[in-house]
Chains A and B, each alone.
Chain A
Amino acid sequence: MKLEMRDQPGQLVAALQPISAVGGNIIAVIHQRETLAATETLDVQIVLELPEEGSLPKLLELLREQGVSVVRIGEQRLLYECTLITIGHLMHTDLSDTVDRIDTTGSAEVTDLSLAMPAINSPSSARITIRSTTREEMKKAIRILRGVAEQKDLLIIEPLEGV
């Protein structure tokens, strides 16, 4: 996110403090004094990781209290990734519907799919990579996938290390 704050000592620390208060993790801080800007403000860009989606509004509120204004919130990246393998009659049971059921959650999506189809009528295998913004969303996506698998009689192979 891009922040704007007064160019005074201690301001940067004041801006960073709320991030740890909500359990966030600062990945990078980039700040530069714009020579053009005659204002007495400092532009800072912060790349950070938040524990859950709900912590963003809380962070914004805390920043506002510190007198820091948030100029722009950049893209929220899908940080959590999980790869599973599924075996069964994937085409007969509408693989794209299986993928849709995860994508329609809005917060998790299938970002990669590799399909291996052997002879006709024998079960095919697919590797599915799911990404999500939070761990909770990932757990939810996997729950959905398990449900679909049960319904469609597919075998789901989950990773050992969970999400």
Chain B
Amino acid sequence: MRIVILGFGSVGRGIARAILAKNLDLTVTGLADSRSGLIDPAGIDLLAALDRKGNGDLCGNPDVSPADVVAKADYDVLVEVTPTNVDDGEPALGYIRAALGRSKHVVTSNKGPIALAYPELRDLAAANGVFLKYEATVCGAIPLIHAMQEGLAGNTISRLYGVFNGTCNYILTRMAEDSLTYEQALAEARELGYAEADPTYDVEGIDAAIKLVILANAILDMRTTLDDVERTGITLLTPEALRLAEDQDCTIRLIGEIVPEAGVLRVSPRIVAKAHPLVVEGTLNAVTVETDLAGDLTFIGKGAGSTETASAVIGDLLYIRERHVQGS
């Protein structure tokens, strides 16, 4: 199966490395970063591209734009792994529309387009007879979307809640463990590369809220936007508050919660018993799904990371190949 990889950062390179390391039978016929593109119907030399990128060079030719790669390369699936933009979804949204319009399947790890334009993209994919898959947008390596769409098909989900942001979970874990202040724990997270220079998106609960919107719209048949999410971040938490929770064998975690029937979507710090399965350490993610037939299920795993996120993208790619693409 032939794929185009748009975006050659942490996730894009993780996918390239997995393709090189394992016999996945995927041929990359197009590749782009922000300022260059590469098209090769015979298959791009990924090792050389990784080397160029590793040396700080462009991955391809500056005369070929990412949009050219989407529009002109020969491929079955567009792998869209460019940065998230939650205001208008661009440029990813335009790339995805263009690929679907060319009857190409799309796999993305990018929350922006899915949170902002899922119904439109789903209809466009259906009209062109192709798949749109987005497992990596929520909780990185955890196959939550697949589990809900396939494994739990036929169940009614009454509530879904969990730890959707590894950065916040790391900060709260550290505040509880060593009585660090929020500022100290954030500084540590930055040093370890778990938090961005501008951590707003994570610590104010926006990232978790976007994931809730994706799950609500794509899986739970709700019609919601980011504005519908009641949201409180972790910036005001104190080590004393964590200690007060600790005194009762509890801790505090940033929890995203959806109650479909009540139309509730909220992200807020909550008191959770330490023995609760959602109390995971470090940057892990964990989600509990309450269903009528299967009972309660809790999924725990890595919510981010180059290889881990690549895992979710590759799962989507192989899903599409199994079901749709003949030959390779």
Contact = CB atoms under 8 A, between A and B. Distances in A.
Nearest to B279: A160
Given A157-B271, A160-B161, A160-B278, A114 B238 contact: no
Contact of A116 (B240, B253, B276): B240
A125 B236 CA distance: 10
Interface residues of B, number: 24
A83 B238 contact: no
B326 interface: no
Contacts of B273: 160-161
Interface in A107-132: 114, 116-118, 122-127
Q: Most chain-B Cβ atoms within 10 A of its Cβ — which of A85, A118, A125? A: A85
Interface in A69-111: 83-85, 87-88
Contacts of A83: 248, 250, 271
B240 A159 contact: no
Q: Is the interface of B mostly helix, strand, loop or mixed?
A: mixed
Contacts, number: 66
B243 interface: yes
Using C-beta atoms within 8 Å of the partner chain, give the interface range for chain A: 20 to 34
Contact of A127 (B247, B269, B278): B247
Given A155-B236, A157-B270, A158-B268, A85 B278 contact: no
A85 B271 contact: yes
A160 B236 contact: no
B232 A127 contact: no
Contacts of B272: 159-160
Interface in B185-208: none
Contact of B238 (A118, A158, A159, A160): A118
Given A85-B252, A85-B271, A123 B236 contact: yes
A126 B270 contact: no
B247 A87 contact: no
B218 interface: no
Contacts of A117: 240
A114 to B, nearest CB: 6
B325 interface: no
Nearest to A154: B236
B278 to A, nearest CB: 7
Contacts of B237: 87, 155
Interface in B161-220: 161
A117 B269 CA distance: 20
A127 B270 contact: no
Interface string B239-282: 01101110110101101000000000000111111001010000
24 contacts: A85-B271, A87-B237, A114-B244, A114-B247, A116-B238, A116-B241, A116-B243, A124-B238, A125-B238, A125-B241, A125-B244, A127-B248, A155-B236, A155-B237, A157-B245, A157-B268, A157-B269, A158-B268, A158-B271, A160-B253, A160-B270, A160-B272, A160-B273, A161-B273
Given A125-B238, A127-B244, A157-B241, 5 more contacts: A83-B271, A123-B236, A124-B238, A157-B269, A157-B271
Interface of B: 161, 232, 236-238, 240-241, 243-245, 247-248, 250, 252-253, 255, 268-273, 276, 278
